[in-house]
Structure 1
Amino acid sequence: MGERKRIGILTSGGDCAGLNAVIRAVTRCAVDVHGWEVLGICRATQGLMSRPPQVMRLEPHKVDPILMMGGTILGTTNKGDPFAFSMPDGSVRDRSPEIIEGYHLLDLDALIGIGGDGSLAILRKLAQQGGIKLVGIPKTIDNDVGITERSIGFDTAVNIATEAIDRLHFTAASHDRVMIVEVMGRDAGHIALNAGIAGGAHIILIPEIAYKIENVCRYVKKRQAQGLDYSIVVVSEAVCTEAGETIEQTKSLGECRLGGIGQYLADRIAKGTGAETRVTVLGHTQRGGIASPLDRILASSFGVAAVELIAEGKYDHIVTWQNRQIISVPIAQAIQNYRVVDPEDTLVKTARGLGICLGD
């Protein structure tokens, strides 16, 4: 064993399945293999704002049971930019110095941040400003972190969406309905494309491929003419109207969130085809539940790799999955671009080859 270190770990941004598997892997590798101390930081950067900082000491025997658990035992938040933090009185304050001070008050040698592109960008800015030795781990059900082929949480989200589609086939066929399944995907259509193919959807609409409602209706009518009086439509929440307008819903606290494209399509498909339509919005069910075996394996591999980067003194890097192996790259490079669906992607070609309508 080398020099004894004290490292911190936090989960930031939206939750997803597999986060606890990362926490477990980091703890087991850091404590059992390297003899280090691990502090779990509660509620992401908000835990570092608190005085004293809110942390929990992580030990292998405490984290062993959390491998398959959904969510994160550390808690997380996707609200509040620490560089422009909204205060209760309506003012905005830069609270980054408090976060940086919290890191140093804990006498940490390094910090592992688990997050999507937005969270990692904020953590990197904090690290550069405050001398924080940061290693990143990508997680997002949208699978849109730039350079990695897979992010933690994506596989579980696809599994959940696929199971929902599987179940809807039977009720759609029984009632001769068009069933529309609206799935998550803030900027990219990876969940819709993957789950749609796996679930045997007839129509898949993603933000990367422009659609025409007349093409969708024509496809439904074609199936009706063939005696197939039901259809399954999978649509990403980020798909816009034909006019290019984003559909959002205002929540009770005044927040705007993507959602509603499913009902928009249902109204127009019903009008254009005469088919009875129903909408299922999966929403946050895609984030919850037991992590899939693949997400547990990926999370475990990422956690161990992140600890080894700290052991090597290789900071400002993120672990990624490329060509069936873990490769570390600079965080700035990894989050430079969103990983959206390429219209020439293999899965897009697969969908077309299966006769699935993409609306174009």
Structure 2
Amino acid sequence: MKVGLLTGGGDCPGLNAVIRGVVKVIDNAGGKSIGLLEGWRGAITGNHIELTPKFTDPIIDKGGTILGSSRTNPFKNPTEIDQIVETFGNLGLDALVAIGGDDTLGVASKLYSEKGLPVIGCPKTIDNDLSATDQTFGFDTCINIVMEAIDRLRTTAESHRRILVVEVMGRHAGWIACYSAIASGADYFMVPEREVNIKEMIDVLQKRRDEGKNYGIVVVSEGAKLNTDGGFVTKDQEVDEFGHVKLGGIGDHVAKVIENRMGIETRSVTLGHLQRGGTPSAFDRVLGTRLGVHAGHLALKKDFGKMVAMRGTQIVAVELKDAVDQMRELEDSFFDEAAEFLK
């Protein structure tokens, strides 16, 4: 069997662990693996490299992806779909493992349902917003990076008696903001799933001051909505190939509101792509490896149109279309637990 692999969308710690897992399984079965470079762009152009265990064994500790990535949407141009089909034939591929988030896997799902291409999905996103899986690799590394950043910011906030607003990624899901806020003991957090309550935030920060805490930490998801500003805060009105606007800037808005209403010096910090980078955590190395191993076995069994997913402690196969049908939002139970610290 000859299996292709590609990584699409934003880079993510743990991608190389998945690649390593797939390659090892296919090699053990006497097959071959090739990597299509820069996501769906490589599937269109046929640009690829050979992948062997000797080449992929040392990459488990590396961040990012050795295959490169892009936000290429081949369904914007029908001729590019034909080119992908042609690439399959030219390279003699028996299967393709697409590693990515909802956009990358959305393309994979359509290629399977509309063109009958033998694809298998593997869930990747620091946002943790893919349905049909309990967690995506990359998320654990991300929240640990955010937690460490906030731990460092706390010392300067306390030294200067300031309030610091930390803007994190997550797009339209609040997993990163919620987990990192709880882990770092932030005073308040804002997420896309709940209406922003400015008065409640100010009341909480003021209460902490009255109790003797001379600094504050607020975590804000980039996709949280400010009703006073007409909704999402965006960097500009440009959209990517999948129609997504570039979110960002809400941290600055929230910091100005706090300073104007409380009269306390408030600064904002946007962590940005720092959250994607660096060495993957042990959890993401293990999860990525396990997902890669199971994706390789699905390819060998020719069980296509599926995505490998984490359910509890087990790795299972789910329908690929179910994974991209809807976004996985932050669950309500987290708000109830976090509410204990707003009293």
Give TM class, smaller chain.
over 0.9
Determine whether 1:39 maps to 2:34: yes
Q: How do 1:49-128 and structure 2 match up within 5 A?
A: 49-50=44-45, 53-78=46-71, 80-85=72-77, 94-128=79-113
Match of 1:171 in 2: 156
1:48 offset after TM fit, Å? 2.2
Q: Which one of the candidate residues 291, 301, 305 is aligned to 1:312?
A: 301
2:196–2:225 Cα contact (<8 Å) kept: no
Return the match for 1:196 from 156, 181, 192.
181
Taking the aligned partners of 2:246 and 2:326, their CA distance within structure 1 comes to 22
Shift of 1:275: 1.0
CA distance in 2, matches of 1:113, 1:30: 15
Shift of 1:253: 10
- List aligned pairs for 1:90-239, cutoff 5 A: 94-239=79-224
SS of 2:75 mapped into structure 1:
coil
Contact 1:84–1:94 (CA under 8 A) maintained in structure 2: no
1:352 aligns with 2:339: yes
**1:201–1:356 CA contact under 8 A, matched in 2:** no
Contact 2:239–2:246 at 8 Å: present in 1 too? no
TM-score by length of 1: 0.91
Correspondence 1:265 to 2:258: no
Q: Deviations over 1:265-290 (max 9, x none)?
A: 00000011111111110000111100
- 2:282 match: 293
Give me the whole-angstrom Cα distance separating, in 2, the residues matched to 1:323 and 1:220.
37
Q: Which SS does the other structure have where 1:114 is aligned?
A: strand
SS at match of 2:9: coil
What is the CA–CA distance in structure 2 between the aligned matches of 1:297 and 1:16, rounded to whole Å? 14
2:322 maps to which residue? Answer: 333
| SS across alignment from 2:74 | coil
TM-score (norm. length: structure 2): 0.95
Kindly provide the amino acid, as one letter, of the partner of residue 6 in structure 2: L
Q: Given residue 286 of structure 1, which amino acid in structure 2 is its aligned partner?
A: Q
Higher helix share: 2
Q: CA RMSD in A?
A: 1.7
Are the counterparts in 1 of residues 222 and 248 from structure 2 also a CA contact under 8 Å? yes
Identity, in percent, stands at 39
The separation in 2 between residues aligned to 1:295 and 1:314, in whole angstroms, is 25
**How many residue pairs get matched?**
339
Map Cα deviations across residues 297-338 of structure 1 (whole Å, 9 max, x no partner): 000000000011122221100011012111111101122111
Deviations 1:88-128 (A, max 9, x none): xxxxx642111111122111111100011121111221233
SS at match of 2:30: coil
Q: Quote the Cα distance in structure 2 between the aligned partners of 1:311 and 1:194.
A: 37
Give the 5 Å matches for 1:10-49.
10-31=6-27, 33-49=28-44
Q: Which amino acid in 1 is paired with 2:40?
A: T
Question: How far apart, CA to CA, are the structure 2 residues paired with 1:356 and 1:151?
Answer: 29
Stretches of structure 1 lacking an aligned partner (at least 5 in a row): 86-92
Distance, in Å, in 2 between the alignment partners of 1:230 and 1:341 is 28
- In structure 2, stretches of 5+ residues that fail to align are none
Cα distance change of structure 1 residues 61 and 356 upon mapping to structure 2, 3 Å threshold: farther
